[in-house]
Amino acid sequence: LRTNVCDPRQTSVMLRSPLFLSLCLSALLCAQASHVASLSLREETLAPSALRLRGGIALNPTKWFGGGDAEKKAAPKIIIAGAPASGKGTQCEFIVNSFGVVHISTGDALREQVKAGTELGKSAKEYMDKGALVPDDVIIGIVKDRLSAPDCQTKGWLLDGFPRTGVQAEAMQKAGIVADKFILLNVPDDILIERCVGRRSDPVTGKIYHLKFNPPPEDEEVQARLVHRSDDTEEAMVKRIEQYKKNVDAIKDYYKDITKEFDGVGDKMKLAAAIADFIK
């Protein structure tokens, strides 16, 4: 393109020329492509998410050009069940850390609704104030509302010990709450009882100790304030275990196609790895 750069009229015409703009754009794209081609895409030396174009623009070659985990995986929907002292709480922590799912217990969800003063929370509070059990339909409503929250939709969820009964499992099914993994921890009764009877909690720190397996610190002040729950006795545990077995037998059929049972005795890290493989 020849033009007299000293003539403002010719310069203005040139800058508005479609041909001139097209040539400029082509030159810019070629320069950028050349820079992209010079980047090393080897996974062992540089992760795709770390690549940058000029100006700091992120480059993810697997997203642009295919390959790798380009397709987003569905958020996990997990239910975990186990008797009291089966190690369920510990495994929940591992699952949350490994998969980033939202850990949900019905007790926490219920308290959140009551605190927020929602309609479901008000309904639940009426029963709680009377000392009565909150009906299944209210509990299901609270669970469904919690699972519909944005964090559960994007990250996935882990329902801890719910549903507990066949009625709740059926109500969840009707409400459209569908899990894709059901984890069942099995621990012999005598071990469950031993774990519970020796359990002590620190009301100040919230930590839970076991006199045999995880002793509290040799601190007189800490040991003096440790609490032994009234239902952490052998007599109470026998009743709790019997009730748990009835409940879990009633819900098994609803999840038989997505269930895997695990031995809850032994190395907790090996158990966590086995559960992680199942979830993957």
- The DSSP output letter for 275 is H
- Is 240 one of the catalytic residues? yes
| Secondary structure (3-state) at 241 | helix
- The DSSP output letter for 253 is G
Catalytic annotation, pick one of 77, 146, 164, 181: 164
Torsion angle of the four alpha carbons 98, 101, 102, 106, in this order, in degrees rounded to the nearest 10: -90
| Secondary structure (3-state) at 257 | helix
Catalytic annotation, pick one of 77, 146, 195, 199: 199
- The DSSP output letter for 180 is S
- Is 164 one of the catalytic residues? yes
- The contacts of residue 100 (CB under 8 Å, 6+ apart) are 155, 156
Catalytic annotation, pick one of 77, 88, 181, 200: 88
Helices (H), the chain: 8-15, 18-37, 61-65, 88-99, 106-116, 119-129, 136-147, 150-155, 166-174, 189-197, 220-225, 234-251, 268-279
Tokens (6 digits) for 248: 């879990």
Catalytic annotation, pick one of 229, 239, 245, 246: 229
Tokens (6 digits) for 89: 């709480």
Active site residues: 88, 164, 199, 229, 240
